A and B are shown apart, each in its own frame.
Chain A
C-alpha cells in the first residue's frame, strides 16, 4: 500500500538556520503531496501542498517540490524562527482522498 517515510527527529536548530526535512513516498498512482504542521497544543494545519510532478508548494517561507523521479517531497526553509517550532507531517493522498501520514518530525528552534 501507499506509504510515507520522513526523517525522524527530533531536529534542533538555531534561529536563522537552514531547514530540510526529508520525505519520500511510495504510491501506486500519482498522489497529491502535503506538509502539515502541528504547533504545541493545537491541531494539524495545512502548510503546503503539490498535486502533480514538478509542482512547488510554498507558504510562510517553507517550500517543497514534488519530485516524481525521486519520489520525494522534501520540506525546506531558508531561515527558521523560534515560532516554527512544531511537529511537521508529510502526507500523501490518492484518488480515494484518504491521507497517509509519515510519523512526524519534531522541530525545535532555539533563539
Chain B
C-alpha cells in the first residue's frame, strides 16, 4: 500500500520558537496533501490543503501566517508552526492524495509540545 512518512514523530520546543514538520509520500507522487490537527479524544480537523507548486488553501479560522505550508515537490510538504505557543501543542497529521485511487493516505502524525 501507499506509504506516507512524517518527521519528526515528536518534538518539544520553547514558546516563541518555530517548528517544521515534514510530510513525505514515499512510493507515489502527490500533487495534493492535507494537514490536520487532532486534539485528544477528538476527531481530525482539517487545517489546510497543500497543492504542489501553488499556495496552500487554509480552512476558516486557521491562521496562514502562523501555520506556513510549503509543497515544493510532488513528494514533500512541510508545515511550519511559527512563534509557537502552548496552545499550539497538539497532534499534527498529514495525508497525501494518491490520484490513481482517489484515496488519502495518512502519515503517522507528529506530537508537538510547546513549553
Contacts and interface: CB of A to CB of B under 8 A. Distances in A.
**A, B from the same assembly:** yes
Interface of A: 32, 36, 42-46, 49, 51, 89, 93, 97-104
B97 A43 contact: no
A104 B43 contact: yes
A6 to B, nearest CB: 9
Given A97-B32, A97-B97, A46 B46 contact: no
B102 A98 contact: no
Contacts of B49: 98
A87 B95 CA distance: 18
Majority secondary structure, B binding face:
strand
Interface residues of B, number: 21
Contacts of B106: 36, 43-46
A34 to B, nearest CB: 8
Majority secondary structure, A binding face:
strand
B103 A46 contact: yes
B109 A43 contact: yes
B6 to A, nearest CB: 8
A44 B46 CA distance: 14
B67 interface: no
B93 interface: yes
Interface string B76-115: 0000000000000000010101000011111111000000
Given A42-B108, A43-B108, A89 B102 contact: no
A99 B46 contact: yes
B26 interface: no
Nearest to A106: B41
